[in-house]
Structure 1
């Protein structure tokens, strides 16, 4: 039987009790309903054995050859502050082309720093920034057959070119260096005061500087924070591929779906225009 294509669904507005019960039965845990966090395409909660279960809904067209196993495959990475993975279960939805995936991990060592995009600067210690750099450097030094899927879309040379040249048509977008990246590095996926990166569903090989550019984009409403991100990751953002990733992220912010009142628009445009000039001058 051919299933219909996946529909756009927001799990913050859809009933998920049956999904939670299925996961509980499969993983032999009990999820505390008072702790459940609802996001657009995922839900998660604390279990009765002191762990955390995250459940994601993803259309099959957004999985590709990787199979949706980002969290368990990230267990092989070393030198990175992240929760340990223990068990997982996945299944095909009975009614549409959607895969559900649940993973049980350690509890986070702290609270998420903020939302995906922050409106005020978080209070972060120098030790926190140092730990961020240690983890991102360790990640980039490793190798994988996985390809990163930022915004659930497999990143390719073609995607970089198409996205970037919509706004910066005169820039040569040829990528020369691919390294492992988290691919969804924002303030909702890191903890403080103790540093930790979580939600590894989209990690894989990506152009150098993707993580730095993504975090910069999530920080643009607070210019001093965006500047700090670029300062901390300057080796990445000042590389040629890092500059291209800055334009790639900026093009998404400034693109056709940009909200006119988005506070990130002006700072994104200012940095991107300067970076584009630098690339064209090389």
Structure 2
């Protein structure tokens, strides 16, 4: 029987019928997915199982699957020193339409609920221990070695992508060449971390990226709450103080201020101010 999701147009799993997909996953993993726990996102669907684990199901078009694979959660299980759910196993198959792949990863349960949405509107009230765990995890991740390349927003990050993204929005006499590439989660926002106990999840896009990408991404996710954004910058000041960190600040600001900017986005003004500062500092050398 064909799966319910059409492959002839862009797919949003928040609105598509995915019952057959979830049934297939449950049979393959020999478990039961609890229907009242299902969480639906644009590119993924997750649910708790009857054996107290979590299953995350993702659909990705073939052109978005690089030669490195898309087994981010599986590969991240080998990174030591990072607070993350334990990985148990997976099932992968090709969509009958032939244009996409499905993957379901089973992991341990999170130690708490997500800290918020991808973009916060109010501070989550995090203890100091949370920030200590965040810093320890990001530092351990950056010290890891991998051949994976990060794919933020499913786009493989390259020097060319960094330059084009920044130059599309910002001008100025400064070099956009990245000096240091380190492993990054590449989708660090408040929807992908737990609180009050810190854990980092949704690892499908992780890999090497310019230093400071994760810090800049979390900062951009915090801009509607100025005190929280300032805390992110203080905690990750080594990243933000680096030349690459300034480039990544412009990289994330370009996505906020670019051609698809929403006029009522409360992040616009703080992003514009910080971008101006970053440009000045880069031009000063």
Give the C-alpha shift of residue 96 in structure 1.
Answer: 4.3
Partner of 2:3: none
- For residues 36 and 206 of structure 2, the distance between their equivalents in structure 1, rounded to whole angstroms, comes to 30
Q: Which runs of 5+ in 1 are unaligned?
A: none
Q: What's the Cα RMSD here?
A: 1.1
1:38-96 CA-partner distances (Å, limit 9, x unpaired): 11110000001110000011111112112110000111100010001001011111114
Indicate the residue corresponding to 1:260 in structure 2: 263
Q: Which residue of structure 2 lines up, in the alignment, with residue 225 of structure 1?
A: 228
Residues 1-282 of structure 1 mapped to structure 2, 5 A cutoff: 7-170=9-172, 171-282=174-285
> In 1, are the aligned partners of 2:220 and 2:229 still within 8 Å (CA)?
yes
* 8 Å Cα contact 1:6-1:96 kept in structure 2: no
Q: What secondary structure does 2:138 align onto?
A: helix
Contact map agreement 1:6 1:59 (CA 8 A) in 2: no
- 1:7 Cα offset (Å): 2.6
Matched position secondary structure for 1:161: helix
* TM-score with structure 2 setting the length: 0.96
Provide Cα deviations, 1:178-226, integer angstroms capped at 9, x if missing partner: 0000000000000011110000000000000000000011011111111
Residues paired across the two proteins, number? 279
Name the CA distance, whole Å, in 2 between partners of 1:207 and 1:34.
40
User: Once the 2 structures are TM-superposed, how far is the Cα of residue 167 of structure 1 from its aligned partner?
Assistant: 1.5
